[in-house]
C-alpha cells in the first residue's frame, strides 16, 4: 500500500500540470492572459501585453466585442456621430435662445425670463403626455421609423430655438413650438432606445448594455459640448456662419441617423417584416434572414417615401387587424356571422373578406401567437384574392399544410416567432353557437 502511494506521488511530481487564465465576457470570445505551471517550480507566464489587456477592458466597458449582437457596433458608431452633431448644434441654438430671452441686456428682467422659460417647459411636458397617449403603444412595432422621426422632431425643435431671435413679437409661440417638438423626441427616442437595447442584449444583459450606452453617450456629450463651445465662440456675431454651420450639421445628423437605423437587423416580427417574409416564402418557399429583410424594409415615414416593394405594400394594405365588429356594415356583419359559424367556430380569430379587404376580428381570449397566426392567415387570403373562387377553403388549406413549416423556417433563420409587433388591438370579439350553447373560451 505504501509503495502504491509513493509511486503515485512520483508520477504526479514527474508530470507537468498547468492552470490557464482566460479573460472575456463570453465563452466564445476569450483571451488567454496567463499560464501557471508547477514543474519543476511554481511559475506564471503572462500572455499578451499589459496594453492589450487594458484595451480589451475598455472595449468591454463600452459594449464590445462579445456581449452584443453584430449590428450593435456599426449602429453605435453612427449613433455616436449623430449625437455629436446634436450637442454641437445645441450650443448654437441655446446661445440664440438665451439671446432672445434677453440674457446680457439691461432691459431684461429675471421674472420675465423665468416666466418665458416656464411656459416653454410646460408646453413640452403637455406635449409629451399627449404624444404618449396617441402614439405610445405604436413605438414598439415601428422602432426604426420612430427613431428617425424622433431625431427629425429634435432638429425641428432646435431650428425653432435658432429662429426665435428673428421673431421677437412671436417669441413665446416659436419657443413653445420648439419645446413641443422636442417633447415628442424625448418620448419616442426613449421608448425606441429601450426596444433596441433589448435587441442588442445578446446574453439578456439589458442593464449592462444600457450602462455601456450611457458611457458612450457621456463621451459623445463631452466632446460635442467642447466642439460646440469652440464653434459658438468662432461664429459669435456672424449670423451667416451660424446658419451655415447649423444647417450643415443638421444634414449630417439626419444622414447619420439614417445610416444607423439601416445597420439594424431586428429579429422581431412586425406588420411590414411579416408581409415581406410571407411574400418571399410564397414565391420561393424560402425565408429571408433578418439582414436581408433589413435592406428591404422601409425606415422612413410613409408620407416621405413609398415602399421599395409595391406588392408587399398592396398585400399589407388589404389587411385590417383588430377590426371593431360593430363598425362593419350590414353585409359584412352577416358574413362575419356565417364565417364564425362555418369556418372559425373553434378559432381564436375571425376573417371577413369584403371588397378585397380582409378584416380580422381577434377573439377576447386570444394569445400573442393567435394574433400572429391571424395576420398570416389574412395575408394568405389577400394573396389568393382574384386567383381563387374559394378563398376561405384554400387559405385554410394553406394554413394547415404550410403555416408550421413557415414558422419553423423563420425560427431556423433567427426570427422570433412568439408574437407579432403590431399597433395595440383594443377591440376584440367573442362568438358563440347559441343553438348548441357551445361558448368559445
Which CATH code of 1.20.1250.20, 1.10.10.10, 1.25.40.10, 3.40.390.10 fits the domain covering 71-264?
1.20.1250.20
Three-state DSSP string of the chain: CHHHHHHHHHHHHHCCCEEEEEEEEECCEEEEEEEEEECCCEEEEECCCHHHHHHHHHHHHCCCCCCECCCHHHHHHHHHHHHHHHHHHHHHHHHHHHHHHCCCCCCCCHHHHHHHHHHHHHHHHHHHHHHHHHHHHHCCCCHHHHHHHHHHHHHHHHHHHHHHHHCHHHHHHHHHHHHHHHHHHHHHHHHHHHHHHHHHECCCCHHHHHHHHHHHHHHHHHHHHHHHHHHHHHCCCCHHHHHHHHHHHHHHHHHHHHHHHHCCCCCEEEHHHHHHHHHHHHHHCCCCCHHHHHHHCCCCCCCCCCCCCHHHHHHHHCEEECCCHHHCCHHHHHHHHHHHHHCCCCCCEEEEEECCEEEEEEECCCCHHHHHHHHHHHHHHHHHCCCCCCHHHHHHHHHHHHHHHHHHHHHHCCCEEEEEECCCCCCEECCEECCCCEECC
> Peptide bond before 65: cis, by omega within 30 degrees of 0?
yes
Distance of CA 133 to the CA centre of its chain: 19
| Domain coordinates in residue numbering, the chain | 17-61, 71-264, 270-421
Report how far residue 378's alpha carbon sits from residue 422's, in angstroms, rounded to the nearest whole number. Answer: 14
pLDDT on residue 377: 93
Asked if residue 259 lies in contact with residue 81, where contact means CB atoms within 8 angstroms, the answer is no
The torsion of the CA quartet 247, 248, 252, 257, rounded to 10 degrees, works out to -10
pLDDT on residue 307: 47
Which phi and psi (to 5°) does residue 403 adopt?
-60, -45
Which phi and psi (to 5°) does residue 129 adopt?
-65, -45
Report how far residue 154's alpha carbon sits from residue 118's, in angstroms, rounded to the nearest whole number. Answer: 19
Report how far residue 101's alpha carbon sits from residue 120's, in angstroms, rounded to the nearest whole number. Answer: 12
Task: Tell me if the pTM is above 0.85.
Answer: no
pLDDT on residue 369: 92
Grid coordinates given for 411: 425560427
Report how far residue 280's alpha carbon sits from residue 434's, in angstroms, rounded to the nearest whole number. Answer: 42
Asked if residue 128 lies in contact with residue 264, where contact means CB atoms within 8 angstroms, the answer is no
pLDDT on residue 278: 94
Closest-CA residue to 189 (of 144, 137, 147) = 147
- With a CB cutoff of 8 Å and minimum separation 6, the contacts of 195 are 139, 140, 143
pLDDT tens, position by position, for the chain (441 residues)?
A: 554 444 454 545 455 667 777 666 555 556 667 777 776 667 666 666 666 666 666 666 655 545 778 888 899 889 989 989 998 988 888 877 777 665 545 555 667 667 777 888 888 889 888 888 877 777 888 889 899 988 999 999 989 888 888 888 888 888 889 889 888 888 888 888 888 888 888 777 787 778 778 878 888 888 988 898 899 888 888 889 989 999 999 999 999 999 999 999 999 999 999 999 999 999 999 999 999 999 988 887 766 655 444 545 568 888 989 888 888 777 777 777 777 666 666 778 888 887 788 888 888 888 999 999 999 999 999 988 877 668 888 888 899 899 999 999 999 999 999 999 988 888 888 877 666 544 444
pLDDT on residue 66: 58
pLDDT on residue 58: 65
pLDDT on residue 274: 94
Amino acid at each position: 500500500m505504501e509503495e502504491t502511494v509513493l509511486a503515485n506521488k512520483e508520477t504526479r511530481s514527474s508530470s507537468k500540470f498547468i492552470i490557464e487564465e482566460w479573460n472575456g465576457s463570453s465563452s466564445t470570445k476569450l483571451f488567454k492572459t496567463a499560464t501557471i505551471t508547477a514543474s519543476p517550480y511554481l511559475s506564471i507566464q503572462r500572455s499578451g501585453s499589459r496594453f492589450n489587456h487594458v484595451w480589451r477592458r475598455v472595449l468591454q466597458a463600452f459594449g464590445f466585442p462579445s456581449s452584443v449582437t453584430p449590428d450593435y457596433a456599426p449602429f453605435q458608431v453612427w449613433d455616436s456621430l449623430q449625437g455629436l452633431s446634436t450637442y454641437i448644434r445645441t450650443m448654437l441654438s441655446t446661445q440664440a435662445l438665451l439671446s432672445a430671452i434677453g440674457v446680457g441686456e439691461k432691459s431684461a428682467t429675471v421674472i420675465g425670463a423665468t416666466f418665458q422659460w416656464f411656459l416653454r417647459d410646460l408646453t413640452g411636458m403637455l406635449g409629451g403626455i399627449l404624444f404618449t397617449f396617441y402614439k405610445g403603444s405604436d413605438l414598439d412595432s415601428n422602432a426604426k421609423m420612430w427613431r428617425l422621426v424622433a431625431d427629425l422632431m429634435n432638429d425641428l425643435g432646435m431650428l425653432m430655438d435658432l429662429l426665435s431671435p428673428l421673431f421677437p413679437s412671436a417669441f413665446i409661440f416659436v419657443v413653445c413650438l420648439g419645446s413641443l417638438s422636442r417633447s415628442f423626441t424625448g418620448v419616442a427616442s426613449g421608448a425606441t432606445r429601450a426596444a433596441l437595447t433589448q435587441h442588442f442584449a445578446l446574453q439578456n444583459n439589458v442593464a449592462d448594455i444600457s450602462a455601456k450606452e450611457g458611457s458612450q453617450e457621456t463621451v459623445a456629450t463631452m466632446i460635442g459640448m467642447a466642439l460646440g463651445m469652440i464653434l459658438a465662440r468662432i461664429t459669435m456675431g456672424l449670423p451667416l456662419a451660424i446658419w451655415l454651420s447649423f444647417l450643415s450639421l443638421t444634414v449630417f445628423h439626419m444622414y447619420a441617423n439614417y445610416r444607423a437605423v439601416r445597420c439594424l437587423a431586428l429579429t422581431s416580427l412586425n406588420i411590414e417584416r411579416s408581409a415581406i417574409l410571407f411574400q418571399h416564402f410564397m414565391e420561393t418557399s424560402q425565408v429571408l434572414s433578418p439582414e436581408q429583410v433589413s435592406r428591404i424594409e422601409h425606415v422612413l415615414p410613409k408620407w416621405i417615401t413609398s415602399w421599395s416593394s409595391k406588392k408587399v405594400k398592396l398585400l399589407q394594405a388589404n389587411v385590417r387587424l383588430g377590426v371593431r365588429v360593430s363598425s362593419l356594415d350590414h353585409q359584412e356583419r352577416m358574413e362575419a356571422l356565417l364565417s364564425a359559424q362555418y369556418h372559425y367556430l373553434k378559432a381564436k380569430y375571425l376573417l371577413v373578406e369584403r371588397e378585397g379587404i380582409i378584416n380580422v376580428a381577434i377573439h377576447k381570449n386570444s394569445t400573442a401567437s393567435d394574433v400572429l397566426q391571424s395576420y398570416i392567415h389574412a395575408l394568405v387570403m389577400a394573396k389568393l384574392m382574384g386567383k381563387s373562387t374559394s378563398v376561405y377553403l384554400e387559405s385554410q388549406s394553406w394554413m394547415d399544410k404550410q403555416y408550421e413549416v413557415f414558422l419553423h423556417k423563420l425560427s431556423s433563420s433567427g426570427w422570433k416567432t412568439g408574437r407579432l409587433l403590431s399597433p395595440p388591438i383594443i377591440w376584440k370579439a367573442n362568438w358563440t353557437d347559441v343553438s348548441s350553447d357551445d361558448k368559445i373560451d
